[in-house]
Each structure stands twice: as structure tokens, then as C-alpha cells.
Amino acid sequence: MSELTLQDERTAASVRLERALVALCIVALIAAPFFVYPIFIMKMLCFALFACAFNLLLGYTGLLSFGHATFFGGAAYFCAYAVKAWGWPPEAGILLGMGGAAVLGLVMGFFAIRRQGIYFAMITLALAQMFYFFCVQAPFTEGEDGIQGVPRGTLFGILDLNVAMNMYYVVLAIFLIGVFAIWRIVNSPFGMILRSIRENENRAISLGYSVGRYKLAAFVMSAALAGLAGATKAIVFQFATLTDVTWQMSGEVILMNLLGGIGTMAGPAVGAGLVVGLENTLATSGFPVTIATGLIFMICVLIFRRGIVGELYARWLAPAEAGGERDKG
Amino acid sequence: MTMIFGIPIQALLGQLLVGLINGSFYAMLSLGLAVIFGLLRIINFAHGALYMLGAFIGYLLLVHLGIGYWPALILVPLAVGVFGMAVERAALSRLYRLDPLYGLLFTFGMALVIEGVFRFYYGVSGNPYAVPSLLAGGTNLGFMFLPNYRGWVVVASLIVCIGTWLLIEKTRLGSYLRAATENPELVQAFGVNVPLLLTLTYGLGAALAGLAGILAAPVYQVSPLMGSDLIIVVFAVVVIGGMGSILGAIVTGYMLGLAEGLTKVFYPEASNLVVFVIMAIVLLLRPAGLFGRDA
């Protein structure tokens, strides 16, 4: 919709405000571990990167994948296995996880882009369930127990990741690099073509773009970045389990996007922070998490489709864009 | 003992029967999904949860009110159908003018809530539901032993599927429904109450899921998780069959149940995966699905 013209129409004031907000967030994240339990923020950062990677596909290409847990959890397994069983250093493990996720993304994307809309969602869901069953049966995942006791190791042979602060800043760096990569992709000519596919696939075809290839490329990039998040999470928490490959996890990342704001840069990260925070709170209260997430899903779809950041945008930052609600997939 | 491909024929037929039972449920559920999708353009993720709800209502009727299987066979679909209609009126009707993906996401949330509520109160363990006394025991068919209840499930699901097909293809209500699928504005202009038709359709789909649930209760254990595991396989069935035709949904359901049963005989490790593999192959060869019309 209006997002293509957004770049030119934005006022200098709102650009300044945005830059200031980004700088403020980075400073806050650098200072955060001195005030909040670092493990908790690291969890938030991993899920935030996962959600942003997902948004690259849903928000900017208009493809709803219901199978992203495959890349997140799959990369966690690959990374955990390489680091624990083969004694790989953490950076190699993370890269392997990312590469593995990209390969899985290539395979899943190859099948899924043959259909559109809800069929796309159902195919990704089914293929992700297939990967889940594979993980249940394959010996290297160690079944219900998962891969436990993964050593954090030393990054590049110099930085000891067993020190909480070292680990934290490495995760923060990975998060920032990942989000920067997504920002670059979205604002490149390639990203513009993705948006044109989202807005009107037939017109993109008639303009001569091989839409299938662009969709597949976006799918693989999204998968690789989701894998980066998953592999990092495996190093932080030192385990990889079946939880991360279930369909509930695929649903959770959709919820993060929906709640924060689909198709906004900051929305998925905000949504991820809220969902992770909520789960942490509920874990001690006895109220079932699934009921809460289900209710938020229903409320968001019914009355809050723009999400938190989307609403903020529509109200304050870019009043001219009001009505930019993304109703078309 | 007679052998086929090195497999005792009893084992083969036993697994085929299990496959046929599973196929009956795939058929009934994908039929409901196809009916709902045809008119509402919504993929009902909550279909598995409604199936579970049906089984649980049957179980609770028995435990708390002493109402047995046969009355439950009527009461459960009614209850689930009314619940479905209430949901359609209150929420789904607000989503029709949006992208169909929002319907998928809403019903996904609904499925989480329904499943979460039952998990909270009843845990994840299964609750047994006794086979009704009329259908207890089994029949020796000469070549194999057929538990009566399982035979009944196959017959009942065939009746339900054919009945629904006749309702949609041969009755006046069904013709309104098919017409509204093609062009809702025009049908409305002819004085047919289309919003009511939409509500009834979702109610019918929900009732079918509930009926499948109560039929399944004596076969599988009644558990809060019984629906979510099934629904993903049913989605794959729907992708394979394509949602263009009601008959296609039914046939594909039975076929895949049988394919799963056969795989269990020859290569048990892959029996969970076979439906998804078939889906991938169909996507390669015939992306629109076996019976699909839309590309």
C-alpha cells in the first residue's frame, strides 16, 4: 500500500525521531544487563531476532509461513550437536546452524511457493510437522531429552562465553547484526521487489520479475536468520529440545509479529519482548500459557490488526499513512 | 498362515483396518474443512479442537449425567454446532472482508484456548470411553477378526460423508449453498439470507467435527491433545485433495488413511511421515491438488 512511498514522504522530524529512538534502544540494551537478569534479556533478544526474521517473510513479502519453528529449532539442534559432539567452536556451530536452516528453508520453500495464501500456510505447517516427527525419531536429537549440556566454549578462541557478560554482548552483537541485515534487505532494490510481490503479485509477474525465485530467496533468507536466532539460543541456554520445533513455536512467532505489528521494523521485536515477558510472568502464576496466547491471538485478529508499533505509527509518527492497515496478505 | 510379500495376511488386513478407521476420521474432518472453506473462505484451524470438544462433551455427558453413547451421538453434534454458530456470529463474521489468513489466525487462537482450557482441567492423559454394549465384542470374518465398534465407525463415517454430499449436491438448501459459494452478492439479491447461510454452514462444519469426535471417543482415548495432532495431518490431506470438491475431500481422506496403514506394515518408522511425503509429491506433479480446480 502506502509503504512504497513512505520513504519520500516522511518528514525530516519523524526521521530524526526514529533515529533517536533507535539510538536510545541500543544504549538501553547495552546498559540492560546491569539492571536486569542477563539470561532473560538474552532470551528476549534471540526471540526478537527470530520474530524479525519471520517478519521479513510475512511483513515484507506477504507470505505467512506456519513452519518457522523448523528453522529456529533445527538450527538449534545442528549447532548444539556440532559444538557438543564434534567439539566445534561456538562461532562455527552458529554458522552451521544458520547454513542448515537455510538448506531446510530452500527445501520447504521449494514446495511451499507452488501454492499461495492459506495453502502456503498449510504446506509449511505440514512440512514443519514432518521435520518434527523426523526430530522425534532421529538418534542425533536424543529424543525427548534433547541435546543437553552444550558447552558455550570460547568465541574465536579468545572470548570466554561462560562469563555471563561476554555471552550477553555477543548475543547483543548478533541481534544487532541480524536486524541490520534485515533492514538492509528490506530497503534494497531486492526488498522493493519483495514488497511489490506482497502488494500485487500478478503485476510483479507482468513487470517481468520471476516472482517464484524472489519468494524462494526471501524464504531462504528468512530461514537463515531464524536459524541464526535458534543457534544462538542453543549456545546461550546450552540445550536444544523438541519444544523449539513444535507447531506451537511456529504459532508463537506469528503471535509476536501480530502483537507488535506486521510489516514494521520494530514491531516484531516489541512483540517478542512482550510474549517472552508474559510467558515468564505466567510460568509462576499457574495460569496456562496456551490460553493466554490464544486469547491474545483472537483479540489481535479481531480488533488490533496493526499491532502495537503499527498503531503508534498510524497515530503519531506518520499521520499521513493512517489507513495503511495491511489487510491484504 | 497365508503370506503376502512376506507379511502375514492377518497383520496386513489388521493395519489396513486401522488405516481405514483413521481414513474415516480424515474424511469426516477434511469434509467439514472443505464445506466451511467453500463458503466462508476460512481455513478452520479450530477443527481439531472442535473434534476434541465433541469427544469431551460425550465423555462428560457420560460421567456427570449418565447419558450414554447413543443419545450423545445426537446431542454432541448439536452442542458443538451451536457453539460453532455462536463463534461465527460473534467473531468470524467480522473477518469475511479481510484476507483469509486472518480467519486462519483467529481459529488458531481459538484452538489454543479450547485446548488450553481442557488441558488445565483434565491434564494431558487420556480418559477411556467404553464401547457401547450393543457394539461390544467382535465378529470373525473368517480371514480376520473385526471388532464390531470399528466396523460401525467405518459404516457411520460413510453414511455421514455420503449424507453430507447428498445434502450439498441434491437439496434446495445445498443449491443455495453452492450458489452462494459462486456469487454471494447475487444470491443475496435473490432474497436468500446469506449471512444466515454462512452461520449455518459453520455450524454444520463444527457439528461434523463434533460427530467425528464422539465417534472417535471409544476408539482413541479422550484427551485434550487428540485434536491438534490430527488437524495437521488433515491439512496435508486437504492440500493433497484440493478443496475444489466435496467428494475429493472424502476420497482423499480414505485413501490416505489406507496409505498410512500400508506404510505401517512395510516400513513402520515412516508411517507418521507418509502423508507429508505424498503431499510433497502431489505438489510437485499437480500443485492444485488431485481434485483441485484453482491453481
A35-67 tens-digit pLDDT: 888 889 999 999 999 999 999 999 999 899 999
Q: What CATH topology corresponds to B18-123+147-285?
A: ABC transporter involved in vitamin B12 uptake, BtuC (1.10.3470)
The verdict on B281 touching A (C-beta cutoff 8 Å) is no
Question: Given an 8 Å threshold on Cβ–Cβ distance, is A111 in contact with B284?
Answer: yes
pLDDT attached to residue A151: 85
| Three cell numbers written together for A124 | 509449511
Q: From CA B224, how far away is CA A189, in angstroms rounded?
A: 48
A100-153 tens-digit pLDDT: 999 999 999 999 998 888 888 888 998 999 999 899 988 888 878 888 888 888
A240 dihedral zone (left: phi>0; alpha: psi -120 to 50; beta): beta
Question: Given an 8 Å threshold on Cβ–Cβ distance, is A302 in contact with B91?
Answer: yes
Please enumerate in sequence order all residues whose Cβ is within 8 A of that of A220, keeping only pairs 6 or more positions apart, or say none: A102, A105, A106, A109
The verdict on B232 touching A (C-beta cutoff 8 Å) is yes
Intervals of chain B under pLDDT 50: 295
- Scored b (16 or more CB within 10 A) or e, A269-299 reads bbbbbbbbeeeeebeeeeebbbbbbbebbbe
pLDDT attached to residue B291: 82
pLDDT attached to residue A256: 93
Length of chain A: 329
The residue among B45, B119, B235, B267 with the most chain A CBs within 10 A of its CB, best to mutate, is B235
Q: Residue A8 — very low, low, confident or very high, per pLDDT cuts 50/70/90?
A: very low
Number of H helices, E strands in chain B: 11, 4
Which residue of A121, A301, A328 is in closest CB contact with B106? A301
The verdict on B43 touching A (C-beta cutoff 8 Å) is yes
* Residue A168 phi, psi dihedral angles, 5° rounding: -60, -50
Do the interacting molecules here have an ipTM over 0.90? no
The verdict on A143 touching B (C-beta cutoff 8 Å) is no
pLDDT attached to residue A53: 95
A83-105 tens-digit pLDDT: 988 989 999 999 999 999 999 99
The verdict on A144 touching B (C-beta cutoff 8 Å) is no
* Chain B residues with beta carbon closer than 8 angstroms to that of A290: 112-113, 115-116, 119
* Chain A residues with beta carbon closer than 8 angstroms to that of B277: 130
The residue among A65, A111, A131 with the most chain B CBs within 10 A of its CB, best to mutate, is A111
* Chain B residues with beta carbon closer than 8 angstroms to that of A302: 91, 94-95, 106
Q: Identify whether the C-beta of residue B23 lies closer than 8 Å to the C-beta of residue B255.
A: yes
Q: From CA A216, how far away is CA B280, in angstroms rounded?
A: 16
Calculated CA dihedral for residues A231, A236, A242, A243, nearest 10 degrees: -110
pLDDT attached to residue B183: 85
pLDDT attached to residue B4: 67
Domain residue ranges of chain A, discontinuous segments joined by +: 37-245
pLDDT attached to residue A80: 93
Predicted TM-score of the model (pTM): 0.87
Q: Give residues 254 to 283 of A whose Cβ lies within 8 Å of B.
A: 254, 258
Q: Identify whether the C-beta of residue A297 lies closer than 8 Å to the C-beta of residue B108.
A: yes
Q: Identify whether the C-beta of residue B279 lies closer than 8 Å to the C-beta of residue A123.
A: yes
Mean pLDDT lowest among A78-82, A325-329, B283-287:
A325-329
* Chain A residues with beta carbon closer than 8 angstroms to that of B117: 288, 291
Domain residue ranges of chain B, discontinuous segments joined by +: 18-123+147-285
A319 vs A172 pLDDT, higher one: A172
Measured CA distances, A311 to A195, A259, A324 (Å): 20, 10, 10
Whether A3 shows a pLDDT value over 50: the answer reads no
pLDDT attached to residue B202: 94
Question: Given an 8 Å threshold on Cβ–Cβ distance, is A297 in contact with B109?
Answer: yes
Mean pLDDT lowest among A60-64, A252-256, A313-317, B151-155:
A313-317
Number of A:B CB contacts under 8 A?
117
Question: Given an 8 Å threshold on Cβ–Cβ distance, is A121 in contact with B112?
Answer: no
Mapping DSSP to helix (H, G, I), strand (E, B) and coil, where does residue B261 land? Answer: helix
Question: Given an 8 Å threshold on Cβ–Cβ distance, is B43 in contact with A121?
Answer: yes
pLDDT attached to residue B264: 85
The verdict on A202 touching B (C-beta cutoff 8 Å) is no
Q: What is the mean pLDDT of chain A?
A: 87
Q: Identify whether the C-beta of residue B292 lies closer than 8 Å to the C-beta of residue B244.
A: yes
Q: Which of A231, A242, A245, A244 is nearest to A88 (CA)?
A: A231
B5 vs A77 pLDDT, higher one: A77
Q: Residue A321 — very low, low, confident or very high, per pLDDT cuts 50/70/90?
A: very low
| Three cell numbers written together for A17 | 525521531
Find the residue in A nearest to B233 (Cα): A126
pLDDT attached to residue B2: 66
Question: Given an 8 Å threshold on Cβ–Cβ distance, is B116 in contact with A288?
Answer: yes
Rounded (5°) CA angle A216-A220-A223: 135
pLDDT attached to residue B158: 93
pLDDT attached to residue A16: 83
